Amino acid sequence: MNNSWVIFVAYLIGSIPFSFLVGRWWKGIDIRQCGSGNVGTTNVWRTAGPVAGIIALAGDLGKGVLAVILARHFGGPWLVTLAGAAVLAGHSWPLFLGFKGGKLIATAAGVFAAVSFPVLACTAVIWFVLVGIFRYISLASILGIISIPILMAAFHLDFPYILLGVFAAVFAVYKHIPNMKRLANGTEPKINLKKW
Ligand code: G3P
């Protein structure tokens, strides 16, 4: 049976813009016009508060988990890899939001939690340590996602999963180019750990 429909469904799942919907329903704001303008968990948290941020995180992360569970049900590692790439593409280029989506970190966390929980757990530790030291979410997200394919290789995961890790890292770094420019010129906002 041809299971390529799973890849398209994964893209549609990724296209559900939870961060946009939470901003709209929770606070009546258009997240694209607020804060960094990114349709993602960090910007929802920043502009609509922690409760909205956690709901957005659950939705965006859940999309990644769901896509992997679906692909694993109907196929093997290559289908999981293609569906994982598709859900990330859907999140970043959503059909339901004019192809302007987020930077894929929360959805990638869901994908890799479902692919390999130990890898995601190590990445989460790296992310929290980097946020604690530097207080830049974007920097922690960039370095955290780069660590994923490296950790996958260290954990001897199947090659297709490592390829998915490389894809996610390259894609996320590309989406964070504006953040990297702000980090370089000192205008990237730090988070206030006392306030959060
Ligand atoms: O997950 C996105 C985060 O790394 C950066 O978000 O809104 O600060 O550009 P933002």
Q: Does residue 38 have its Cβ closer than 6 Å to ligand 1?
A: yes
pLDDT tens for the chain, 196 residues: list them.
Answer: 589 999 999 999 999 999 999 999 999 999 999 999 999 999 999 999 999 999 999 999 999 999 999 999 999 999 999 999 999 999 999 999 999 999 999 999 999 999 999 999 999 999 999 999 999 999 999 999 999 999 999 999 999 999 999 999 999 999 999 999 999 999 999 998 666 5
> By percentage, how much of the chain surpasses pLDDT 90?
95
How far apart are the CA of 61 and the centre of ligand 1, in A? 15
pLDDT tens by residue, 9-21: 999 999 999 999 9
Range 87-99 burial, b when 16+ CB lie within 10 A, else e: bbbbbbbbeebee
The verdict on ipTM greater than 0.90 is: yes
pTM: 0.96
Report how far Cα 42 is from the mean position of its chain's Cα atoms.
10
Which residues lie below 8 Å from residue 126, measured CB to CB, with a gap of 6+? 140, 143, 144, 147
Closest atom of ligand 1 to 178 CA is 9
